[in-house]
Amino acid sequence: MATSTAATLEKVVSLCKRKGFVFQSCDIYGGLNGVYDFGPLGVALKNHIKDLWIKEITQFPEDVVMLDGALLGHQDVWKASGHLENFSDPMVDCMNCKKRFRADELDLEKPCQSCGVKNWTDVRQFMLMFQTQLGAMSDKASTAYLRPETAQTIFTNFKNVTSSTRVKVPFGIAQIGKSFRNEITPKQFLFRVREFEQMELEFFCSPDESDKFFDLWLQRRRDFYKKLGLNKENLRFRKHKPNELAHYSKYCTDVEYCFPFGWKELEGIAHRGDYDLTQHSNHSGKDLSYFDATTNKKFMPHVVECSVGVDRLMLTILFDAYREDNVKGEQRTYLALSPTLAPITAAILPLTKKLSENAHKLFIDLKQKGFSVQFDEAGSVGKRYRRQDEIGTPVCCTYDFDSENDACVTVRNRDTLAQERISIDAVASYLQKLKA
C-alpha cells in the first residue's frame, strides 16, 4: 500500500468544498475575499480542535478560567494596547496593473510579479483594524473597532475576573473567539483570512516566576502538538531573535509548520512582561495591579501568552492528514485524522438495504450514547468506504447477513484497512477506546 502525503493547496481546498468542510463565503454572489463559511464537517472538526485545546490548557495545577469577550471594542482599548498606532502593514500598489501588495513581502527593486512592469506607488501604512460606528451618530466619539485579537478583552477584564471569582495569581484566562483583520492580501485559503477564530491564553504570574512559567508553557504547548499527532518533521519551535521581539516582550517562540508554501507561524508563545496591564492601568486610570494576600505584596502581574488561530490550525491538521494511496489498483484519497479530531467517529453500513432496519438500530444506539456517527446505505460498500475515508472517519462498521445470527459487525480500519469482527454490544466501548 503506497502512501503519500501529497497535499497541495488545490487538493485540500477542493476536498474541503466537495465534502462540506469549508465554503467560500457568499460564493453565489461571487465570494467575499478572505472570508469563509464552515460547513457541517468543518464545524465538527473545529469544535473538536477547540475542545482539545480547552482540555489541554485546563489540566494543570494552576487555575485557567474562560472568558467570552465582546467583538466590538472601545477605541481607547486599542489606543492603550498600541494597535491604533502600530497595527498596520506597509502597502504598495502597482500603477500599471493596479494590483495591491504588502510591501514587506516584495522586492521593490524588481518589476511587479503580476504584470512584469516596474511602476510602484509610494509605500503607505495600511491599518488592519476594521473601524465601525456605534449608534446613529458618526462622530469620533462613536467610533469602535472589531477586535483584531481576543487578548485585549482578557486584559480589560483582569480586575473583573479576580474580584468576582476565587482565582489567585498565578492563573490564566483563556478565550476562544472571532477576531478580524483587514489583511491587505488574504491568501493561502484559511491561512490568512480577514475573519478568523483565535484560541488565546493569557497566564498571569508574579514577575519572579514569569521565566519559569514561560518555560513551562513552552513545554506544555510542545506536549499539545505531540498529542495532535502532527508529523514531527513538519513542526518546529523557533525562538525569536532579539531584533524580532516587540519592545515589551522578553522572549517569544513561534510554533511553525512546514506548509506546501513554506515554514509559517502557527502559534505565538510570548513573555509579554507587565506591558498590557500597565498600559490599561495608565490609560483607564484604574489600578490593575494585584495584591497577594499571602506575601502582603502588591505587584503588576507579568503575562505569558499562547495564541493560536483555530482556522490556521485546522488547515495545518488537514494538510498533515491528507493522504493518497492505491488500494487494489484504485486510487484513494483519505484523511488520516486522529479519532479525537475526526468529524465522524464511525460509519454504520448495512451490506444491503434489506439489512438496514437492524443496522439502523445500532446507529441510533451509538447516537444516543453521544457518538458522532453516520448511517450510509447508498452504493457499493467499497464506494461507501471511500466516502468515509475522504472525510477521515477512522472506522466503518458493516452489518452483513451473518450479523443477523452472530450479533457482530465487521469493523474496518481506515488506515490499515484491517478488518475485525466485533460484537454489536461492544461497538460503543470500542469507539470510546479509539477516541481516548
Question: Does residue number 202 form part of the binding site for ligand ATP (CB under 6 A)?
Answer: no
Q: Nearer Cβ to ligand ATP, position 190 or 337?
A: 190
Instruction: Name the residue number minimizing CB distance to ligand ATP.
Output: 309
Q: Nearer Cβ to ligand ATP, position 177 or 339?
A: 177
Question: Does residue number 192 form part of the binding site for ligand ATP (CB under 6 A)?
Answer: yes
Q: Nearer Cβ to ligand ATP, position 71 or 381?
A: 71
Question: Does residue number 306 form part of the binding site for ligand ATP (CB under 6 A)?
Answer: no
Q: Which helix (H) or strand (E) holds 216?
A: helix 210-228
Q: Nearer Cβ to ligand ATP, position 151 or 395?
A: 151
The site map against ligand ATP for 9-48 (x = CB under 6 A) is ----------------------------------------
Going through 300-425 in order, the beta strands assigned E by DSSP cover 302-309, 322-327, 330-335, 346-350, 373-375, 395-399, 408-413, 419-423
Cell of 396: 466503518
Query: Considering the complex, what minimum distance in angstroms separates the CB of residue 366 from ligand ATP?
Result: 34
- Which residue from 184, 218, 308, 373 is in contact with ligand ATP, where contact means CB under 6 A? 308
How is residue 107 annotated by DSSP?
-
Q: Which residue has the cell 485545546?
A: 53
Q: Nearer Cβ to ligand ATP, position 281 or 307?
A: 307
Query: Considering the complex, what minimum distance in angstroms separates the CB of residue 191 from ligand ATP?
Result: 6
Q: Nearer Cβ to ligand ATP, position 44 or 266?
A: 266
Query: Considering the complex, what minimum distance in angstroms separates the CB of residue 378 from ligand ATP?
Result: 36
What distances in angstroms separate CA 195 from CA 71, 133, 394, one per listed residue?
Answer: 11, 19, 31
CB 89 within 8 A of CB 102: yes
User: Dihedrals φ, ψ of 162, to 5°?
Assistant: -70, -30
Query: Considering the complex, what minimum distance in angstroms separates the CB of residue 16 from ligand ATP?
Result: 15
Q: Nearer Cβ to ligand ATP, position 181 or 302?
A: 181
- Which of 374, 373, 379 lies closest to 353 in space, CA to CA? 379
Query: Which residues, 6 or more positions from 374, have their beta carbon under 8 angstroms from its beta carbon?
Result: 344, 346, 347, 348, 388, 393
Query: Which residues, 6 or more positions from 42, have their beta carbon under 8 angstroms from its beta carbon?
Result: 16, 20, 21, 22, 314
Question: Does residue number 144 form part of the binding site for ligand ATP (CB under 6 A)?
Answer: no
Query: Which residues, 6 or more positions from 5, have their beta carbon under 8 angstroms from its beta carbon?
Result: 231, 320, 322, 323
Q: Nearer Cβ to ligand ATP, position 159 or 221?
A: 221
Question: Does residue number 193 form part of the binding site for ligand ATP (CB under 6 A)?
Answer: yes
Q: Nearer Cβ to ligand ATP, position 93 or 149?
A: 149
Query: Considering the complex, what minimum distance in angstroms separates the CB of residue 303 from ligand ATP?
Result: 14
Query: Considering the complex, what minimum distance in angstroms separates the CB of residue 240 from ligand ATP?
Result: 10
Q: Which residue has the cell 480589560?
A: 156
Residue 318, Cβ neighbours under 10 Å: how many? 24
| SS3 of residue 35 by DSSP | coil
Q: Total number of residues binding ligand ATP (CB under 6 A)?
A: 16
CB contact burial 327-350 (16+ within 10 A = b; e otherwise): eeeeebbbbbbbbbbbbbbbbbbb
Query: Considering the complex, what minimum distance in angstroms separates the CB of residue 309 from ligand ATP?
Result: 3
Q: Nearer Cβ to ligand ATP, position 93 or 200?
A: 200
Query: Which residues, 6 or more positions from 260, have their beta carbon under 8 angstroms from its beta carbon?
Result: 7, 8, 9, 319
251-270 residues near ligand ATP, rule: CB under 6 A: 265-268
158-177 residues near ligand ATP, rule: CB under 6 A: none
Task: Report which residue type is found at 383.
Answer: K
End-to-end CA distance of the chain: 27
Q: Which residue has the cell 512546514?
A: 258
Cell of 259: 506548509
Question: Does residue number 83 form part of the binding site for ligand ATP (CB under 6 A)?
Answer: no
Query: Considering the complex, what minimum distance in angstroms separates the CB of residue 360 from ligand ATP?
Result: 41
Question: Does residue number 309 form part of the binding site for ligand ATP (CB under 6 A)?
Answer: yes
Q: Say how far apart CA 163 and CA 206 lie, in whole Å.
A: 17
Q: Nearer Cβ to ligand ATP, position 19 or 272?
A: 272
Cell of 170: 498565578
- Which residue from 312, 332, 387, 414 is in contact with ligand ATP, where contact means CB under 6 A? 312
Query: Considering the complex, what minimum distance in angstroms separates the CB of residue 148 from ligand ATP?
Result: 8
Residue 110, Cβ neighbours under 10 Å: how many? 9
Kindly list the residues in this chain that would bind ligand ATP in the complex (CB under 6 A): 149, 181, 183, 192-193, 196, 198, 265-268, 307-309, 311-312
